[in-house]
């Protein structure tokens, strides 16, 4: 009986040790959760939406811009998006085209009607402000798993949702950020909040996602995105309406040569 007891005890210890060896590292857990978050948002094909951008300065004064957004999913590459400004008059006709890539630099162009020319946004300048907002050009690309190194930190509740807290370290040397800390909810793998840290590792901005709506019984989209700049005291609110998926957009609409004709 003693020999049998020792055998059972040894087996239990071996199983316990094997479990410890096989346990996920914080890097592996962060990567796994991020991959699942991305995987749950695949297959939407294309989308359209109307946006209202409210800019608020450090004194509380606001200005509003209205625009339209078109996006197209790519099977073997990052997403493409086209943003067209409709008002006010000083920005009407401005168009922004962005091609995201999992590997290498993203491609971005901005058409300025006052100059009647298309300006390419270089990788070195992607940390610059997008049309005076608290969003940078870098913030307007689709999330690609390959662009970051990951580290799971802890679990935390945000707006009543249990979330995983994960640090994302950009691999791009031209990124404007040292790191991003994201809160991904455990119920639907939606990003609820993101903290952006500048190259000096100081908290720069916080982006919150709210008022989620479920589309096509699968795809969650926030109606409101608010970016607060902690260093300048400014903020930008993006409010989405008229959101639609699988609208039949043509790839030819996402062409830098067609930016001047964007309507």
In a domain, 81, yes or no: no
In a domain, 139, yes or no: yes
Ordered per-residue pLDDT tens for the chain, 263 residues = 445 455 545 555 445 544 444 699 999 999 999 999 999 999 999 999 999 999 999 999 999 999 999 999 998 899 999 999 999 999 999 999 999 999 989 999 999 998 889 999 999 999 999 999 999 999 999 999 999 999 999 999 999 999 999 999 999 999 999 999 999 999 999 999 999 999 999 999 999 999 999 999 999 999 999 999 999 999 999 999 999 999 999 988 898 887 887 76
Could you give the 3-state DSSP secondary structure of residue 123? helix
CATH number at residue 41: 2.50.20.10
In a domain, 180, yes or no: yes
Q: How many C-alpha atoms does 151 have within 13 Å on its Cβ side?
A: 8
How far is the first Cα of the chain from the last one, in angstroms, to the nearest whole number?
84
In a domain, 103, yes or no: no
In a domain, 217, yes or no: yes
How many domains does the chain fold into? 1
- What is the 8-class DSSP label of residue 24? P
In a domain, 181, yes or no: yes
Beta-carbon contacts of 2 under 8 Å, excluding residues fewer than 6 positions away, are none
In a domain, 198, yes or no: yes
In a domain, 113, yes or no: no
Specify the pTM: 0.89
Q: By residue range, what is the domain housing residue 188?
A: 33-75+122-245
């Amino acid at each position: 009986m003693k020999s049998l007891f020792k055998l059972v005890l040894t087996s239990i210890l071996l199983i316990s040790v094997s479990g410890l060896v096989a346990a996920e590292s914080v890097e592996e857990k962060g990567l796994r959760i991020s991959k699942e978050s991305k995987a749950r948002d695949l297959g939407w094909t294309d989308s359209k939406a109307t946006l209202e951008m409210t800019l608020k300065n450090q004194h509380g004064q606001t200005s509003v811009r209205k625009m339209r957004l078109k996006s197209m999913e790519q099977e073997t590459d990052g997403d493409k998006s086209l943003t067209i400004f409709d008002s006010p008059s000083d920005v009407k006709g401005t168009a922004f085209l962005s091609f995201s890539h999992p590997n290498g630099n993203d491609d971005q162009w901005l058409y300025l009607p006052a100059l009647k020319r298309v300006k390419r946004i270089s990788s070195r300048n992607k940390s610059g402000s997008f049309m005076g907002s608290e969003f940078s050009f870098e913030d307007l690309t689709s999330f690609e798993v390959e662009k970051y190194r990951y580290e799971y930190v802890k679990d935390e509740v945000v707006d009543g949702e249990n979330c995983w807290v994960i640090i994302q370290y950009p691999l791009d040397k031209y990124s404007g950020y040292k790191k991003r800390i994201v809160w991904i909810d455990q119920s639907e793998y939606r990003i609820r909040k993101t903290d952006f840290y500048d190259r000096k590792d100081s908290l720069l901005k916080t982006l919150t996602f709210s008022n989620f709506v479920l589309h096509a019984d699968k795809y969650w989209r926030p109606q409101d995105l608010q970016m607060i700049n902690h260093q300048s005291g400014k903020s930008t609110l993006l409010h989405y309406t008229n959101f639609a998926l699988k609208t039949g957009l043509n790839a030819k609409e996402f062409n830098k040569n067609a930016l001047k004709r964007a309507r």
